[in-house]
Each structure stands twice: as structure tokens, then as C-alpha cells.
Chains A and B, each alone.
Chain A
């Protein structure tokens, strides 16, 4: 079984400031790692994922996350946030296997960007 801990439930930040949303996981098996974003009253959208290879993965809208195996972390960062980044962010893990298994989500981090 896997578990995900998102260390901050809320992160307030000013526009154009950098931000880091923290995620730690535990698992007895190899996993894939994901960040999803949920805008108010909407479903989840995939932001980025780590499967293998380079430990730094990037999204098209400026977010990046780095897989750290020794620290079992997958923190999400953005060097300069916009008002439109205000949303709920969920870190998730999924067992690395040949069949599709469930996503295990953290409780989420609410990012609030203010002018």
C-alpha cells in the first residue's frame, strides 16, 4: 500500500512570488508520481507526472517537480505564480505495474495567489 502526505493544507503567496508545494510518499513498491490541479467547481487535471528518467519534470504552464527517491518526495515548484494559479493541488502515487491501478491522493494543498 502507498500513502501520500501533503505537508501544507494552505499556501498563501503574492503574485509573481515563487512557491513550493510539498509532497512526501511512502510505498513498499515502485511507484509513479503525479500532480493534479483542481480549479473551483471542476474536476482534476493532470499537471505533470514522473514515470522514469530525468528526476525533474515540467508542465507547460511553468510548474516543475523533482523526484527525490532518497527523501521519498515529489515537491512542486513554480518560480513566479499568477492569480490564475489559485487552485487546489493534489499529489498522487500509483503502483508501477503492467496494469492500471488506483491513484492514491494526498489531502491537497490550497494555493491562494493574491495581488
Chain B
């Protein structure tokens, strides 16, 4: 049973560029969330997708956008990259029904470096 998979694992971008990160949820899961983890910090919630709609959003600017596809996979897009966007981006999946007691599973993350 494959867990949460993310791609790419590492990438380097230049300020002002745009980046797309991809995520496939754990088998059977229908909800995908994205988190940003800066070096030495805890993960910060970006947004959550369920039924192809953004259901909840954290305190991140509109430069951060996402999408969920019918097969539940998801993309995170970041436009106009800033140096401060350098971080580990974690994708997490879970089952929506059953409530917030359901376990959230995380992928290995995508390391983004902005130069």
C-alpha cells in the first residue's frame, strides 16, 4: 500500500519564478492538505482540498494556490517566488468523513530552494 508520494524531492528556483509541486495521497484517502516547513520550524498549514475544492486555508498569500484532481491527487503552485518561500513543502492526506480524529499521513516532502 503506497503512502503519500510527492514530486519532485528537491528543486531550485530563481526569485520571481513559479513552481508546481505534486502529491498523490495514500490509497483510499480523499483529502489532501499542504504544509510549509521552514528550517527549524514546525509545519504551517497552507490549505486543504476535498472534492476538488479548497475547504480551508491558512495564513498564506494568494501567490499560493492549489488544485485537486478527480483521482484525489493534488498540486501546489507558488507564483512570484520569494527567497522566504524556501522550505520543505509537505503534502498530507486523510479521510474527510469521520472527522478530525482521523490520522493524517505525511509524504517525505519537496525541498524548495529559491535563489
Give A residues with C-beta under 8 Å from B: 4, 32, 36, 42-46, 49, 51, 90, 92, 94-108
Contact = CB atoms under 8 A, between A and B. Distances in A.
Given A43-B109, A51-B101, A100-B31, 5 more contacts: A97-B99, A100-B55, A100-B94, A103-B104, A104-B45
B41 A108 contact: yes
A99 B90 contact: no
B48 A90 contact: no
A42 B110 CA distance: 10
A108 B42 contact: yes
A106 B42 contact: yes
Contact of A100 (B50, B90, B105, B108): B50
Contacts of A92: 42
A14 B104 CA distance: 31
Interface of B: 4, 31, 33, 35, 40-45, 48, 50, 55-56, 58, 90, 92, 94-96, 99-109
A44 B50 contact: no
The dominant DSSP class at the B interface is loop
A100 B100 contact: yes
A15 to B, nearest CB: 25
A103 B104 CA distance: 9
A103 B45 contact: yes
A103 B36 CA distance: 12
A88 to B, nearest CB: 9
